Structure 1
Amino acid sequence: MAAAPTIDLNAQPGHLIRRLHQIAVGIFLQETAALGLTPVQYAALQAVHNEPGIDQRTLASRITQDTSTTAGVVERLQGRGWLRREPDPADRRARRLTLTEAGTALLAQAVPAMRRAQARILEPLSAEEQALCMQLLQRLVQHNNPHSRAPAGPPRPRPRGR
C-alpha cells in the first residue's frame, strides 16, 4: 500500500477558507455579543428587511441555507419577537415574513456591529487589496455556487437609484 503524501494544510484553499470562516464568525460574535445575534440570524433579518413579505423558501435561498435550517432560524427569531410569520393569502402553505418593530430596532443596532466585524476581517489588507479580495471572493462563490448544498438563487433586482 502506498503511503499518503504529506500535505501542508495551510497551502490548501479549502482549509484556509474554513479557517477564515471560523475567524469571521468569532469576530462577528464578539462585535454583536451585546445583541445575542448569530451571523445567520443577522443575514435572515437583513434579508427580510430588504424584501418585506418574503416567503421562507425564498429566504432560505437568499441566505443560502437549506429550508429546514431556515425554518429553525425563523422560529427562533419569531420566538424572540424580532420576526412575524403570517400565512400567504395566495398560498396557505407559504409563510410571509416581516420584521417586528423590535426586529427593526435590533437590526439598526446590529448594522454598525456587522460593519465593524467586516472591517476587522479585511483590516490586514490595503484598500486596493480589500477591493481585489472582495472581487475574487465573489467570483469564486459565483462560479462554485452550483456545487453548494444550498445554492443561492438568482439575485433580486437592485432598486434604481442605489
Structure 2
Amino acid sequence: MKDNNDMPGHLARRFQQIAVAVFLAEVGDAGFDLTPVQYAALATIKANPGLDQVTLAGLIAYDRTTITGVIDRLVQKGLAERRASSRDRRARELEVTDEGRRTLRKITPAVESAQRIMLRGLSAREGEELMRLMRKAIAAGNELSRAPLRDVQA
C-alpha cells in the first residue's frame, strides 16, 4: 500500500488546500473578500467583456451549475453585472463594473504575493518546472474532468 505522499491525487488536494488558504490570507490581509474562483471569474470577465456564463464556466474550468452562484456573489458585491444580450434576448452577458475594475487593480499585488508564497519552498527553476509539469498533467487529463477547460472559441 502506497503512502499518501506517493499518490498524486493526495498531493494535488493538499496543494489546493494550501493554495486556497494562502490566497484567502493574502487577499484578506489586503482588505478584500474574494475567493480564488470569484477572482478567476472576475478577471476572465474583464478580459472577455460580454461573455455568457456557460463560456465563463469553460474558460475557468468551473462547473456550469455552480458558476451561477459565483456570478450571483460578484453581482451582490457590485463587481460584475448581468445584461441582456444584444444577440440573444434569452442570454445574459457579463460585464465588470467600475468597482470590479478598481478591485482587480488593487488586489493584484496580493494575488501575486499569494502565488509566490505557494511556491516559496522551491527555487525559481523548480517553480517553473513544477508549473510546466502541472500544465502537462492537467492538459493530458482535461477531458476527464467534470468541468474541462475550454478555449474561447469552443
- Give TM-score scaled by structure 2 length: 0.94
1:64-118 Cα shifts (integer Å, max 9, x gaps): 1111211111111001110011011211221111110111111111211111000
Secondary structure, in 3 states, of the residue corresponding to 2:2? Answer: coil
What is the distance in 2 between the residues matched to 1:41 and 1:97?
A: 13
- 1:11 paired with 2:15, answer no
State the one-letter code of the partner of 1:52. Answer: P
Cα pair 2:55 2:152 within 8 Å, conserved: no
RMSD: 1.1
Partner of residue 152 from structure 1, selected from 134, 149, 152: 149
1:94-146 Cα shifts (integer Å, max 9, x gaps): 11111101111111112111110000011111111111111111101111000
Structure 2 stretches of 5 or more lacking a match?
none
Q: Which residue of 1 aligns with 2:23?
A: 28
- 1:141 paired with 2:111, answer no
Q: Which residue of 2 aligns with 1:159?
A: none
Per the TM alignment, residue 14 of structure 1 is displaced from its structure 2 partner at its CA by 0.5
Cα pair 1:42 1:110 within 8 Å, conserved: no
State the one-letter code of the partner of 1:48. Answer: I
Task: Determine which structure has the larger strand proportion and give its number.
Answer: 1
What is the distance in 2 between the residues matched to 1:12 and 1:47?
A: 32
Per the TM alignment, residue 154 of structure 1 is displaced from its structure 2 partner at its CA by 2.1
Larger C-alpha radius of gyration, 1 or 2?
1
Runs of 4+ in 1 over 4 A off after TM superposition: none
Instruction: Give the aligned length.
Output: 151
Identity of aligned residues (%): 43
**Structure 1 residues 49-60: aligned runs within 5 Å:** 49-60=46-57
Partner of residue 71 from structure 2, selected from 63, 67, 74: 74
**Structure 1 residues 116-127: aligned runs within 5 Å:** 116-127=113-124
Per the TM alignment, residue 7 of structure 1 is displaced from its structure 2 partner at its CA by 3.1
What is the distance in 2 between the residues matched to 1:136 and 1:14?
A: 15
